[in-house]
Amino acid sequence: MRLLPALAPVLLAALAQAAVPVLDPPPGWRDVTAEGKARNAVIALKGPETSSFMVKRAPSAPLDNPAGVRGYLNDVLGGLRDATAQDYRSTGRVETKVFRNGLKAQMIRAQLAGEERIVIALFAAGSAPYLAVLMSAAPEAMLDSLIGALQVGRVEGAVQSRGVARSTDGQLELALGGGLRSRALLDAEAAKGFVLVVQGSGSEILFQKLSEAEATKPGEQAAIVRELTAASAGVPAAQTAPLRNAPTAAGPVGVYSWAPGQGGEKLSVGYLPWGYWGYQLFGRGPAADELLPGALAALKAGPTSVPGLLASTPKIPIEKELPLRKAALGVAAAAAAFGAFLLLRWSLRRKNANLPA
């Protein structure tokens, strides 16, 4: 027992060092970290044309020393100037900005031929300093979608009951409280494309992001949702609840259905169109049929969302009957996605202790 007070600082330090930033690339950007072109980068993204974004550990950065921060950032700019053979210029003024994700960054800006082209920032993740470099024709426009969308200090499976929950891609957010909670993703869930978990009334809803290539035509989504619901519960499609609309506070309108499961639980499935991609929703629990539309009703646009894209989100038509062609398509989609649902059920069994009574 005497060891516990001594171990606490060690454990806290280990957790702080493990708080590595993560980021889901915004539309038009791709992750190139694995290519190794940005040496020692924890995040490396390639954007349109010559745009790029990189995050590295900066163990020698003096975060609490204003003069040291200014010198460090200007040294980094000097290195970029030499490496690119471009005459980047800066006033050297350090500005501090707190982003919507709560991250506090100290930044300098640099111009090329009088036009802003670079933002260099220092920030802390846990107690560890990190350096971010954004190079773009319009860096100011991308700050919130990149630095402001970094996820820092996520603990696997941790439950959040206050504040704002935000999807890992920065597109979705909702205020917690009033029965709504959020759980941090398990690593296995994140690897399958899940970006958000919402809990309430002993139930849980998982949001899985679908790319433009994965999302089928709007007119076919209603059939797919119903077939996925049937496949999840192991019942015929005729035994699932009629499809219903589920509007969001952000504007897009989802569709969902549900079916009874074993032991009084309910299984719900939904689809939320979002710009030119979408989210598949999987729910389980005694109130999964009410939690899914309730969570969507509270859903707002996150910091990386683009109003113009949201405004162009297609409508999902609901049909009273499922044509054979669409039902067949739904069966194929259900087979493809059933593995994701099995992951959900496994995840929920592991995390039942986190669900509210």
Closest Cα partner for 169 from 187, 139, 148, 199? Answer: 148
Cα dihedral sign, 287-293-299-305: positive
pLDDT of 327 reads: 47
Cβ-contact 304, 145 below 8 angstroms? yes
CA distance linking residue 44 with residue 209, whole number of Å? 21
The domain locations on the chain are 22-149, 159-354
pLDDT of 173 reads: 94
Helices (H) and strands (E) in the chain, counts: 8, 18
Q: Is 44 helix (H, G, I), strand (E, B) or coil?
A: strand
Q: Radius of gyration over alpha carbons of the chain, in Å?
A: 23
**Distances from the Cα of 117 to the Cα of 55, 85, 171, angstroms:** 17, 14, 25
pLDDT of 279 reads: 95
Cβ-contact 246, 305 below 8 angstroms? no
pLDDT of 54 reads: 94
CA 120 to chain centre: 24
Residues in the chain: 357
Residue keyed to tokens 């009334």: 201
Q: Could you read off the pLDDT tens digit of each residue along the chain, which spans 357 residues?
A: 333 333 333 333 333 334 568 788 888 898 888 787 777 788 999 999 889 999 998 888 888 889 999 999 999 999 999 999 999 999 889 999 988 777 889 999 999 999 999 999 999 876 678 999 999 999 998 998 899 888 765 555 667 777 889 999 999 999 988 889 898 888 788 888 999 999 998 899 999 998 766 666 788 888 999 999 999 888 998 899 999 999 999 999 999 999 998 877 899 999 999 998 899 999 999 999 999 999 999 999 998 899 999 999 999 998 654 444 444 444 444 444 545 554 454 444 444 444 544
The order of strands in the sheet holding 159-160 is 159-160, 181-183, 194-200, 203-210, 277-285, 266-274, 253-260, 244-247
CA distance linking residue 133 with residue 144, whole number of Å? 14
CA distance linking residue 303 with residue 167, whole number of Å? 10
pLDDT of 177 reads: 86
pLDDT of 9 reads: 38
The domain covering 22-149 belongs, at the CATH homologous superfamily level, to Mog1/PsbP, alpha/beta/alpha sandwich (3.40.1000.10)
DSSP strand pairing (104-112 vs 164-166): unpaired
pLDDT of 262 reads: 80
Q: Mention the CATH class of domain 159-354.
A: mainly beta
Cα dihedral sign, 312-317-322-325: negative
Tokens of residue 73, six digits: 């950032």
Closest Cα partner for 341 from 193, 173, 156, 154? Answer: 193
Quickly list H helices, 215-353: 218-233, 288-297, 307-311, 324-350
Q: Is 148 helix (H, G, I), strand (E, B) or coil?
A: helix
